[in-house]
Every structure is written in C-alpha cells, then in structure tokens.
Structure 1
Amino acid sequence: METVSKGQLLWQPSEKEIEKAGVTKFLQWIRNEKKLEINDVHHLWKWSVDELELFWGYVWEYCQIISYTPYSHVLQSRKMPGARWFEGSSLNYAEHVFRNDKGDETALIFQSEIVDIKEISWKELREKTASLADYLKETGVKKGDRIVCYMPNIPETIIAFLACASIGAVWSCCSPDFGMESVVERFKQIEPTVLIAVDGYVYNGKTSDRVEQVAHLQKALPTLKRTVLFKSIDSDHKRLNQQQTIDWQEVMKRKSELVFEPVPFNHPLWILFSSGTTGLPKPIVQSQGGIVVEHLKVLVIEEGVTDEDVFFWFTTTGWMMWNLLVGGLLTGGKIVLYDGSPMYPKPDVLWELAEKTKVSFFGTSAAFIQASLKLGMKPSEKYAFPHLKAICSTGSPLSIDGFKWVYNEVKQDVWLASVSGGTDVCTAFIGGSPVLPVRAGEIQTKALGVNAQAFNDDGKPVLNEVGELVILNPMPSMPIYFWNDAGDKRYKESYFSTFPGIWRHGDWIQFDEKGRSIIFGRSDSTINKQGVRLGTSEIYRAVENIEIVSDSLVVDLESLGKDSYMALFVVLKREQLLDDVLISHIKNVIREQVSPRFVPNEIIAVQQVPRTLTGKKMEVPIKRILLGHQPEKVINVGSMANPEILNTYIEFANKRKALNH
C-alpha cells in the first residue's frame, strides 16, 4: 500500500452527497424559515455556539420535539454545572421512538453467534414494549424508580429499555461479561426495584452460564422486588429466588396498549457509569429531554440518518455506544444489533453482516479497525457495500494506518468519521461531517453547539499546539447530576476542578484554525519530556506497526525531584523473544518515527496489555501502580477485560521499588 501522510486528503464529498446531507437540509431550513444567512458548516458551528439558545431552540423545532407543555426558555443561564434546559416542557423518549411506528416494517435486525439474521417489526416491538411496561406498572414501578438490566446486545434489551422509558422509570445496564463485584458496585448505588437479566450468553464460541451471577445480584441488592429472567441458554434456574423471579415469556403474554408518561425535560432517563478503573464507578445521570434533543441533533442533523437508513454500531450494552445505537430508532430507520465476538466464527463476520443487512452507517471502534488491519483483512475483495455511506470510528484515536486501511480495503467512496466524546455526555464533542473532506489522522470538525477548545496550562485557548480538551458551554446531555452526590461534590471534582466553570474532559487535543483536530490520548497519561508533551497514540502507532508487535502500553513516570522514567510494555507474536536486537530495533523505530526524546528507558515483554471491558488500555491505573499506589485503590478489577494479567504489572512495580531503595 502506498504511504499516507498526516493530513493527506482521502475523500471529498460530491455535490450530490453535500446536497443530500442532513446538515445541508438543516442549513436550508434555517435560511428559508428563519431568514438567517449562514454560509457553510464552519459558519454554522460558530453561530451555534455564539447563539447557543437560538441554535438549540431551532433543533427542537426542526426535529419536531413532542412536548405536552411549552417550555419557558431554552436555557436560563450558561453556568456549568447547573444549566437547566427547556424548563416547563414535558415529553417522553419512547414516544419519540414510536412516533416512527411503521407497523409490519422492520425496526430491528439481530444476529448473534447462535442466532442467524432475525428481523423484528415495529408492530412486534411496540406490543412487547407494552407488555413489559404493563407488568412493571402492575408490580408498582413508578416514575423515577430504577430498573437495572444485566443483558447482552439483544432485542429484548431494547424492549426492556423502551418499556422503562415509556413509564418514566430510570434505566441502568451492565453487560453480562462485567465482573460480578463491578456490577454490584454499580447497581447497589442506585437502589433498583426491578432486575431484568439473562441466564447466559455466548461469546467467541463459548457459552457462559450467568444464573449464579443473577442469584448473587438478587441477594446483593436488598431493594429488588422482582427479577424478569430471559432464558437464552439451557441452564438450571433453581438457584434463583423463585418467588421474586418471573420468566420473560410469561410477561410477554400480557396484552396492553403502550402508554407514554410525560416527564419533565430534566427527568432522569438513564444512569451510565464511568469505566470504573479507579474508585467507585461514577453514576452519571442524563435526562430524557437532553438525550432526545442531543441524539436527534447528532443522528438527523450532523450524520444525516433518515428513516430509509440501516444504522449499525458494534457495541456491548456496557458501552455508551449502545445507547446511541438505540437512538437510531429516533430517526425511524432500522438498527442492527450484533451479539458476540466481532471476530467469530470468522474475522469478517461484521462485514458479512453489513452486506447482508444493507447497512448504510457502520459504527465500530478504532481497535476493531486496527485488528482488521493487523490480520490483513480485505473486506472489499469478498463483499460489496453499495448501500454503505459512512464508517464511524470511536473509542480511541484512529491511526493514519487505520484511515488508510478503510479506504484501501473496505470502500473508496465512503465518509469515514472519526469521533470522540464520552460516556459523560453520551455523545461526541468532536466528530465528522459528510460535507467536509476526510484527511488522514484528523477529526473533521467540532460538534454543533459544542464550544470545544484546547487550553494550555494557564487556561488559555491555543491553536496548532496540544492542550487540554475543554468545553466552554453547557450541552443538553451533560449529566444533570451524579446519583447520591450531595452538593454535586463528585460531579464538580470530575470535570470542573481544574478550570472552574469550564468542563475539562481529560484528553490531549490539538485544533487548527478550521476546527479540525487530533487527539493524542488521555491527558493524565500524556508523556512529558523537558516540557515537550506527547500523547501515547503516536508511540503506539510506531511500535504496533512493527510486524512482530501485536500490542503495547507506554507509561511515563514523573516524580518530583526524580528523573522521568518511561516504560514500554510490548506483546509479541509467535512466542518471539525480546532480545537485545529487538529492543534496539523498537527503540530505533521510536527514535526515527516519533522523536529521540521519547525513546523509552526500558522495554518489557508481557503476555497482554490490561484493558477495560470496553477495550481501552488502562494507562492511568498502571501508571499509578508503578508510581507506588496501592493496586486495590487505583484499579477496579471487575471492570477489567483481563484481570489475570494484573499481577505481571504489580510484580514489575515491586521490582522497581526494590531497585530504587
């Protein structure tokens, strides 16, 4: 493959594509209906943050939000935290989904490792949502009560969420691959009354029975009154509290009409949790109204998803991308769910699914794209993607090689949107635009209504240099609060302690004059050599491009009064030994491709890189262990995908400590 350099033009939208884009239609509506002359998407972004209240009022009107009562004002004050949006209005998330009801037409498409492609109609989705909502109300669930879910990415989970939202209850979900104590830590904080759970799941060809875990949850959550159990494997259910448990199929026999309970705009919709790699997971509460307007803005206006599209994102229920995937139903389009390993029973299973189901928006993680690249996959040689308009990547920065692989091996004429946001807002701060060119290694633009900037250490905005990602104005989907957080103490500490009144997100980012950006990794894992800072992603790109290296983790340890020490952990292929020749080669690659300044002090071979359940490298917790912190205080083992590897790093930390004394 030819060499691709940073910033190289890879794709340019055609005039027809620009004309059909959601953002173009929104711009035309503003010009025609509001008589405002906004020239292009750059001008639109500037206007959307300068005239924040007007912008969100127009989003409300353009997306035809259904409210039972009028709002008194869009936003009374831009103060953060504490901004209150659309006060006086009352609405329901589920109603905004089912206003798109198309009867016998398909709403959901589902595939798993054990279930071939299956379609669920709008009619079936509505009926089953109504059945569960009716059962929940009969058991005494009221507005504001918490319902927790321990389910994989299957249609029943969507049904459970929509039933919960329809009655104004508060939803929270953990994927069944989460460690049990990690699930208890999350759910216990929010005192749920109902648990909706699965008895097991299949991943990578292996069946995992979860009945014991469900029984444990029944005992560990004293506020639980009912458990609705969905049976997906052949398991022994006798261990469960039989008086408390009802079978999903039994609930589905109920016949009822779906009713939508109006709730205030700021009524809680769901509670998402931080990754939980350090301390007790943060219970992040987002509102019904905030999510409705934010997700309609992202999907309808920015991405241009219509009721004719097929929207897919590879995700588990433990990642915020599942919540955005459900949001695809707000557009009236079909959404595609996949449950299982993205590489099983064959590494191109998702690309085959995309072809069969005519996916138009294919969402995934940067890690999946990198894994496909590493395996030498060439989907375009086997599959045709005439319907595919966009490939969206998130979770971590997408490398230049990842950009190049998409255009060389998947589809040349496709909009590749690298996006970045977070669980904290359940949306993106920066992302793609189908009316702008795609350049290698760069994120195209800032999200509409989001005043994202890079700040230096003095709290001043900077261009063309790396700084802290900050958000200068409130967003409707920002947390309304953390659950049980007296005086918003944890909330303020999490985002507003560095720059009072300004949201600090914890990423290192660089913007140019056109709003394009590059993310360099988490700011608290950033490497700093004599005042020159570098995000870890640049080192990963160089090191993981070495054929024999399959994964890596870099940690820079800075201690007051001591020399900086940088360790690079590498996972090698084919039982390769890390000898002096390979160490020298890795250092030379970093020296030549990154900078001599960032050559590590030591390179260590390991079996695996520690990752969270959502696939993120655990840079900061490992950094803290190596700095001498107690492992149990900085790592929540239940949130790890591979907790068995942790001892390797603890032993290494102990050896370093002994050598330094």
Structure 2
Amino acid sequence: MVNTTQRPQPATPIWEPDPSEAAHSRIARFTDFVARRTGTTYADYPSLWAWSVQDLPGFWSAVAEFFDIRTSGAWERVLDDAPMPSTRWLPGARLNYAEHALRTGDSRDTAVISVGEDGTTKLTTWAELRGQVGALAGWLRRQGVRSGDRVVGYLPNTLHAVVAFLAAASIGAVWSACGQDYGADGAANRFAQLEPVVLFAADGYRWNGRQHDRRTESAALRAALPSVRATVHVPNLGLATSAEDDVVRWEDALAHPAECVFEQVPFDAPLWVLFSSGTTGTPKGIVHGHGGVLLDHHKLLGLHLDLGPGDRFLWYTTTNWMMWNMVVSGLLVGATIVLYDGSPTHPGPRRLWDLAAKHHVSVLGVSPGYLQASAKAGLEPGRDLDLSALRILGSTGAPLPAQSYHWVRDHVGPRVQVSSTSGGTDIVSGFAGSAPTTPVWPGEISAPLLGVALEAFDADGRPVTGEVGELVVTRPMPSMPLYFWNDPDGSRYHQAYFGSYPGVWRHGDWMTRTPHGSVIVSGRSDSTLNRHGVRLGSADIYAVVDELPGIRESLVIGAELPNGQYWMPLFVVLEPAHELTDGLRDALASAIRTRASPRHVPDTIIQVPALPHTRTGKKLEIPVKRLLQGARVDQVAGREAVDDIAALEYFTRFAPSTAGTGSPTPDLTEHTP
C-alpha cells in the first residue's frame, strides 16, 4: 500500500453548477438522450459516469449518434472483445476527421481567429477555411500525396498549420507538427522517423517582442529529410523565400481553387503522430486514429467543456503540444477557435486575459504557472476586463494548487468554473476533468471523464479510495494510441503502459480518488519522493512554495545517492531583487511543515538561476534526479527536448563527487534549512 500525507478535504465545493444553466448544457441534453435510449434515468453525473464505463458500446454509440458522427462501410460492433492494447473500435467503419471538422459552421461565420504577438489579427470564415483546405489538398494530390503518406509542419501556432493539417487529413495523409523553438536537429529527430513526403516550413516566429528568423533552420531540416519531395514556404514573418526548385510559396500552393474532397479511411487509420518529449531517449512517435479522436474529442469538447456553435475557444499552446490538436478539434463541435502565436506574458502578464476579453472567449485554457503568475502580479481580470463571455477556465500540464481556485473565484469571477484536467499526449485527451454538472473542490479535479474507467491502484493492483495509488485505466478508450511508430511488434507500446498491470493502462501518475468522487493528481509516480518509507507527492510542496512572495518557481527532488543516503533538496528560482536569506529559508520550511507536513520539509534549500522544462512547460524532475545521482546531461535528456539546456546543465554541480563518497559537491551545508 502506498502511504502519503493527504491534504485536508474541503467541507464544501468552491463552485457548484447553477441548476438553470446546467439544465441547458449539452451534457444535460445528452443525459436525456441516453435515458430515452436505455429506458433508465441518470439522476446525476456519477450515475451517468458509472453507466458510461460499464456499457462502453452503449456509451460510445450514443456519443456517435448524439454528435452525428458519420461513417460509411459495414460495421456491426462498437468494439471487439480483444483486451487492451489490442482492442479495435468500429471494425469495418470508414470516415474522415477533416470532413467532420469542416461540416458544421455557417459559411459566413468566423471559424478561426488568428492573433500574432504583435497584435495582428485575422478572422477566417468557415467558407474561407474550406476554400483554403480544398485548394491545398488539391495541390497535395498533384504532388502525388496519397492516403497513408506523411506530411509534416515546422510551424508556429497560426492559421497555416490548421489549414495544412486539415488538407493532409482530408486525403488520408498522416500529419505531424513541430514548433520552431526546436532547432533543425530536434525537429529532424522527430520527422525523420516518419519519412515524410511534404514539409511545410515557416520563415520564423515571434517571441517576447522579437522576430526569430528560421529560414536557415528550415533549410537544414529539409536537407535532413531526404524523403521530402516538396517544401512549402510559409510566410509568417513575410521574409523572402529561397529559390530552390522544390520550394513552393504558400500562396502558390493555394492558387488553384478546389472543393474539399474527403477520403473515407478506416476508423483506425492514422490521423497524426504526436511525439513524446524526448527527455529519456529518442522521442516516441505516438499514433492516433481518425475515428478514436473523433469520438473522444466530441465527448470532451462537446459534453465536458460544453462547446458548440457561437462559442469561442482559446487554449494557450504551441504546435508541439497535444493541446494544439485539441484546439483544432474545437472545429468539430462548431466552435470558433482562437490561435495565439507568441509569449503568454508579452507585453505583460495580462496578455491572455486581454485576448479572452477582446475576443469574447467562452473557454480559456492556461497553465497553473500562468495563474500563479497572474496572482503574484496582482492582476484583477474580473474587475478590469469584460470577461462576461467566459464560462470555463481550463488548466492542465501540472497539478493546480488549491489557492489558484480561490484566486479565480475572487479575481476572475465566482461563476467561472475552474476545469483542472489530467490527461496526456499518450491519449491526446483527458482522464479526469469537469462538466457543467459537476462541483469543483479546491485543489481537486472534479471527476473522471465519461467513458474513462479510472482507478487508483495500490501495489497489489487493487483499487483504493482515499489513498494515493497509481493512476490506471481498466477499460479501453477509443483515443488510446493505435501503436508507436517503428514499433512493429508493439513491445515498446506494451512496456510503456501495460508492463505493470497486464491488461490495464498504467499512466505513471500518483492519483487519489476521494470519497466524494473527485480526483487528486499528486505528481509522477516515477519521480516519487520517499521520506523514511513514506511516499510524498511533489505537487503538495509546489502548492505551498510557488505561491510564496519572492519565489518564481521551485523544483523538489528525492535522490538515492551512491553512498546509500537519501537526499531531498528543494531548488528555488527567486523573483528579481530577492535573496535566499536564512529568514526566507526558515519561512519556506515553516510553510511546508505547516501546510503540507513535517515529512515534506526538504533536507536543503538551494537557489538556482533557472529551472529546466520540457518544450510544453513540464518541470524535468526525473532528468534532474538522475543528474544528482551522477548521470551525464547527454544521458538524461536530448538537448532539443529541453527549453533551456544551460538550466539543466547547472544541476551537474550538485552531483556526487568523483571520489565516490556520495557527498554532493560543492559543500551544501550552508543551504540546510
């Protein structure tokens, strides 16, 4: 059994559904629809969820019918009886993701709002979007691109990426994208695995008020991909294109108007390849299918986030991250998607709130770090901006501390629902989140998502409630990967998720199912803190430390050293003009002791200039732990997988000495709290 210190459970929710609003939500209409189909009344969300995981064929066929997911071909079963990961969904059915993404909106309405960091804004109607996709798909066909071929984009988060993806998907080609903060080598480490036939490459991107010319990197990437037959130059910054014969200007690729024609592909035909961060080796290519994504994203966006025509959907992301794919799927339910290409804090920390107000955003997605930065900056979005359209504030990427829920209520608005979500690139979706009919408790995720048989397992593989366990999924989900790229026997896929509990998906997170049905995710189970035999979640420490004045960010590591000692240091990045004095160390230790537990107090508190993250902003706990145990930088992470390689290299100074004493070097006695 896993032991851990549990945070106190709040007596009452911080947010509860308004009965009138909940009654008019899509999930309420879906519940009535299901009741008519099954002859059973579902009085609340827990009863609907229980049915959704007990009767997978009934639930997912109801989702398909409710959202009018159109298939051709003969199919008789929603899923076969094969255990995970061999389960097949709707065998025999054929469909196309892009057809569903482009079918909904009125031609004159806005489908996409594209905003650059410099403020340049472009509105694209549904008719214009369909026209661009049709023209580009026609050009791809003329290049000989066929169903199953790979098309890749070295692109920022602009309209070009959406059009290129939908054009590729419409003909059954497989898409993959990489942001331009990656260099040519990092992008090639991903794309070369796929042997793509067409490359879309932008001339550059904007970040923190600067233009970044990426024409040289784009040329180097093209040279590293010998399978590429044609390259499309995308004029994001308006820089001149090269004169090579195989380089085509974006406007020329769209020069010949054509109607959209959608190739009907098998339900499990690959739609896109997303890549793991690459911090533990060569990035894994994770393949998802047209049909599974259609089912899951309709459910998540339409039922859980209540998105539909007339809504505007902005989630801060880059093309590297699965949330980009989720934003594009907003088109599936007829919502207007808002793309922002730039820093979320330029020219100031209010940037995303300003965008939400200006464009009347219904659902805004941010990171826990952005909410904490907004609080520390003293922002008052609810007072200073018109956020009357905002219904849901989403957060993902890391556990959201309880104080952020209170800050949203007090400074954004009491009727804004905080939707903290746990999911991942692996499933390009979520495991747990919220719905218009679920309460919200501070520091907790409201509930498992519909259709997700989510449990916390103890070491013996038994479900537990009120205790920390491994986050597992015991029944198939349609958006689970089809396979890993270049994994012909499926061994890497099986080992990644099914090596611990046969037939059960283990995700690698610590999770608690609370008695009132919510979920608490407390960090990665493979970077566990273990003090005197008690396992602790790093999220409990971050929730205390990162909100304290003067602390910009923190990282806690538990490392078993060669001499047999266990060392648990806390590294902090301070705000400008702050120093790590003895008084601040004492204050940090006291706050952790009081608000988490005495076991959570670190052995050492050390100031560092910066912390390393993945390209999607996750703290690199495991690579830093391995450095502290004596590994080399090149053994723990690929350079292109890290946002700041110098920040990672800095931690090598805390590794055991070469003399084999196991003592951290340099001497850290002055850092002990």
TM-score, scaled relative to structure 1: 0.96
Segment of structure 1 superposing worse, 600-609 or 259-268: 600-609
1:579 to partner: Cα distance? 3.5
1:80 aligned to which of 69, 72, 84: 84
State the alpha-carbon separation in 1 of the partners of residues 11 and 165 from structure 2: 41
Alignment partner of 1:391 out of 372, 390, 393? 393
Deviation at residue 13 of structure 1 after TM alignment: 1.2
Aligned equivalents of 1:360 and 1:380: distance in 2?
14
In structure 2, what is the Cα distance between the partners aligned to 1:503 and 1:412?
A: 37
- Secondary structure in structure 1 of the residue aligned to 2:490: helix
Query: Alpha-carbon deviation of 1:405?
Result: 1.1
**Alignment of structure 1 residues 77-226 onto 2, 5 Å:** 77-226=81-230
Aligned to 2:51: 47
Structure 1: segments with no counterpart, 5+ residues: none
Q: Quote the residue 1:377 is aligned against.
A: 379
Aligned partners of 2:633 and 2:648 also within 8 Å:
no
Cα distance in 2 between the residues matched to 1:574 and 1:657 = 37
Is the counterpart of residue 541 in structure 1 residue 546 in structure 2? no
| Aligned-pair CA distance for 1:406 | 0.8
Instruction: Check whether the contact 2:562–2:629 (CA below 8 A) recurs between aligned residues.
Output: no
After superposition, the Cα gap between the structure-2 partners of 1:201 and 1:119, relative to the gap in structure 1 and judged at 3 Å, is same
Paired residue for 1:645?
647
Give 1:330-409 correspondences, 5 Å limit. 330-409=332-411
My pick for the range that moved more, 626-635 or 135-144, is 626-635
Contact 1:229 1:247 (C-alpha < 8 Å) held by counterparts: yes
Contact 2:60-2:78 within 8 A present in 1 as well: yes
Letter in structure 2 aligned against 1:449: G
Q: State the Cα deviation string for residues 295-334 of structure 1 (Å, max 9, x = none).
A: 0111112222121211111111111001010000001121
Task: Give the Cα separation in 1 of the matches to 2:375 and 2:312.
Answer: 25
Cross-structure match for 2:570: 568
State the 1:172 CA deviation. Answer: 0.2
- 5 Å matches for 1:254-269? 254-269=256-271
The CA distance in 2 between the partners of 1:258 and 1:484, in whole Å, is 32
Counterparts of 1:374 and 1:523, CA distance in 2: 30
Contact residue 291 and residue 477 of structure 1 kept, 8 A: yes
In structure 2, C-alpha distance between the alignment counterparts of 1:584 and 1:364, rounded to whole Å: 32
Q: Residues 271-290 of structure 1, C-alpha deviation per residue, up to 9 Å, x if partnerless? A: 00111111011100000000
- 2:201 alignment partner AA: A
Which residue does 1:509 correspond to in 2?
Answer: 511
Partner residue of 1:324? 326
Q: CA RMSD in A?
A: 1.7
Query: How far apart are residue 12 of structure 1 and its match?
Result: 1.4
Deviations 1:595-632 (A, max 9, x none): 22222122211001111111110001111121223321
Q: CA deviation at 1:657?
A: 6.8
Instruction: State the AA in 2 paired with 1:125.
Output: L
Q: Partner residue of 2:3?
A: none
SS at match of 1:373: helix
Conserved 8 A contact 2:627-2:633: yes
Q: Distance in 2 between matches of 1:650 and 1:245?
A: 43
Mapped to 1, the partners of 2:336 and 2:484 lie a distance apart of 32
1:6–1:400 contact (8 Å) kept in structure 2:
no
Q: How does 1:384-463 map to 2 (within 5 A)?
A: 384-463=386-465
Q: What's the CA shift string for 1:513-545, capped at 9, x where partnerless?
A: 342011111111121122222110111122223
Q: SS where residue 647 of structure 1 aligns?
A: helix
Residues matched between the structures, number: 656
Instruction: Establish whether residue 10 from structure 1 lines up as the match of residue 5 from structure 2.
Output: no
Kindly provide the CA deviation profile for residues 20-60 of structure 1, in whole angstroms up to 9, marking residues without a partner as x.
Answer: 12211111011224423322211111111111121111111
Tell me, in whole angstroms, the C-alpha distance in 2 between the residues paired with 1:343 and 1:556: 32
Amino acid at match of 1:26: F
Residue equivalent to 1:518: 520
Distance in 2 of aligned mates of 1:338 and 1:88: 39
Q: Is the 8 A contact 1:180 1:638 kept in 2?
A: no
Structure 2 segments unaligned to the other structure (5+ residues): 1-7, 664-673
Counterparts of 1:256 and 1:104 in 2: how far apart (Å)?
Answer: 18
SS in 2 for 1:491: helix
Q: Secondary structure at the match of 1:9?
A: coil
Distance in 2, matches of 1:602 and 1:513, equals 35
Q: Secondary structure at the match of 2:78?
A: strand
> Cα distance, 1:581 vs. partner?
3.3
Counterpart contact for 2:371–2:404, Cα < 8 Å: yes
Secondary structure of residue in 1 paired with 2:219:
helix
Secondary structure of 2:393's partner?
Answer: strand
The one-letter code of the counterpart of 2:363 is F
Q: Distance in 1 between matches of 2:350 and 2:546?
A: 21
| TM, length-normalised to structure 2 | 0.95
Report the residue type matching 1:172 in the other structure.
S
**d(CA) in 1 for partners of 2:459, 2:413:** 41
Residue identity opposite 2:609 in structure 1: Q
Residues 470-502 of structure 1, C-alpha deviation per residue, up to 9 Å, x if partnerless? 010111000000011021111011111111211
Contact 2:183–2:217 (Cα < 8 Å) also in 1 = no
Offset, 1:133: 0.3
**CA contact 1:150–1:173 (8 Å) conserved in 2:** yes
Please state how far the C-alpha of 1:235 moved relative to its aligned partner: 3.5
Q: Comparing 60-69 with 323-332, which one deviates more in the overlay?
A: 60-69
For residue 270 of structure 1, give the secondary structure of its aligned residue in structure 2. Answer: strand
Taking only the aligned residue pairs, the percentage that are identical comes to 42
Matched letter for residue 46 of structure 1: A
Residue aligned with 2:655, SS: helix
Do 1:75 and 1:84's aligned partners in 2 also have CA atoms closer than 8 Å?
yes
In 2, the alpha carbon distance for the partners of 1:560 and 1:533 equals 20
| TM-aligned CA deviation for residue 655 of structure 1 | 4.5
Q: Is the Cα contact below 8 Å between 1:22 and 1:303 reproduced in 2?
A: no
Q: Shift of the alpha carbon at 1:110? A: 1.4
Task: Tell me the amino acid that sits aligned with residue 385 of structure 1.
Answer: L
Sort the Cα spacing of 1:234 and 1:107 in 2 relative to 1 into closer, same or farther, 3 A.
closer
Aligned counterparts of 2:217 and 2:46: Cα–Cα separation in 1: 50
Alignment of 1:617-632 (within 5 A): 617-632=619-634
CA distance change for structure 1 residues 346 and 598 in 2, over 3 Å: closer, same or farther?
Answer: closer
Rounded Cα–Cα distance in structure 2 between residues aligned with 1:451 and 1:151: 36
1:308 to 299, 307, 310: 310
SS at match of 1:48: helix
- Whether the 8 Å contact between 1:211 and 1:236 is mirrored in structure 2 is no
Letter in 2 for 1:140: G
Q: Answer whether contact 2:553 2:574 (CA < 8 A) is retained.
A: yes
